[in-house]
Chain A
Amino acid sequence: MALTLCKRIMVLGLTIVSLVLLTQNVSHAEYGDVVMNKYSDDSGIRPVVFPHWFHRIRFRCKVCHADLGFKFKAGGNDINMLKIIDGEYCGACHNGDIAWSVENCDLCHSAKPKTPTQVHESTLQKLIRPAGAPK
């Protein structure tokens, strides 16, 4: 009987933990992380998270934004896998030579499904809005 009580308490604990987890729907991703979801959701794969911080440790802005032609606008670049395997955009480095190759789908396509295209933590995102206001 004591065991059952113990298990009940455990189950109750689990319930509380799951409720707490469910209510924490807040993003804390890194400043400058870009989510790209132009085609991903429609194609049945997770959207892409591009970590600016990781790349700026290794490359100057100019490499991607001048040499490779990435526009300074989340969603402003028409990137798809065909272009990437042909060496455009991400594919200029993600070719198994400078950086790991395209078969590692999960490393880029790692966002929660349905995450919209955005620059995370951008000024406009950080403006404080009333709860429930459109984002």
Chain B
Amino acid sequence: MVRSKFLASLIFSLVIIALSVAWMPVPDASAADPNTFNRLMKPPSKRNPPPTQDGIHDPGSIGTQGLQTPREAFKPLPQGQSGNYVDWVKAFDAKKIQPRFDSKDPKAKPVIMDLTIVRQVKGSMPDVIFPHKQHTEWLDCSNCHPVPFVPQKGANQMSMASIMLGESCGVCHGKVAFPVADCRRCHTEAKGKATKTSAKAAAKPAVSKKK
């Protein structure tokens, strides 16, 4: 008797679930309370979840359960402001990570080019300093030249809009390298200082070699 009642209520709730699924329009987590915090933003507590909870991996797959969790891997690494919330450049400089330069040869070393490029920008934003050094530590020249960047001064027009759409710097920044909302990591050179640099740069090209 007790069992049949239990079964009946189980069936009843299953029917309720089925009906709610059928009647639910678009899943909307904010439907309960329209004025919740972080309505459209991922709150800090939801950062770097394990693969089984990240919404992309299939939690039912045995493979998913075998994968390393980001939090475990990121624990010894310096924290960043955005993206993976890891400062990859700092992690690299501090030798917290030692990524191979060659798939087979763990001792292969890159040729580092220590050349900074000043890009004067419109509006109130500080000018952009592009450091070849950090980029050549990770990449090969052919990754950026001649596509998407022609290796010639003044030959590369770009805008934040095109970057956000995935062109020029946006090929990596905003996808894997630090996101475009980290404005000050590129826009670093104060305007006044840049004017001085550019006065010098008028005689010489706006490419300065750093020692």
Which residue of the partner chain, among A12, A31, A58, contacts B83 with CB atoms under 8 Å? Answer: A31
The answer for the CA separation of A104 and B40 in the assembled complex, in Å, is 37
Sample of 12 more A-B contacts, CB < 8 Å, known A29-B57, A32-B175, A72-B171: A3-B2, A12-B13, A18-B17, A32-B84, A62-B140, A62-B143, A68-B103, A106-B62, A106-B64, A107-B66, A109-B63, A110-B57
Are the CB atoms of B24 and A22 closer together than 8 Å? yes
Answer whether A28 and B17 are a contact pair too, CB < 8 Å, given A11-B10, A120-B56, A123-B180. no
The number of residue pairs between A and B whose CB atoms lie closer than 8 Å in the complex comes to: 190
The answer for the CA separation of A25 and B31 in the assembled complex, in Å, is 13
Interface residues of B (CB under 8 A from A): 2, 5-6, 9-10, 12-13, 16-17, 20-21, 24, 26-29, 31, 40, 42, 46-49, 51, 53-58, 61-64, 66-68, 70, 73-74, 82-84, 86, 88, 97, 99-104, 110, 137-140, 142-143, 164-166, 170-172, 174-176, 179-180
Are the CB atoms of B21 and A22 closer together than 8 Å? yes
Which residue of the partner chain, among A33, A67, A112, contacts B58 with CB atoms under 8 Å? Answer: A112
Count of chain A residues with a beta carbon within 8 Å of a chain B beta carbon: 66
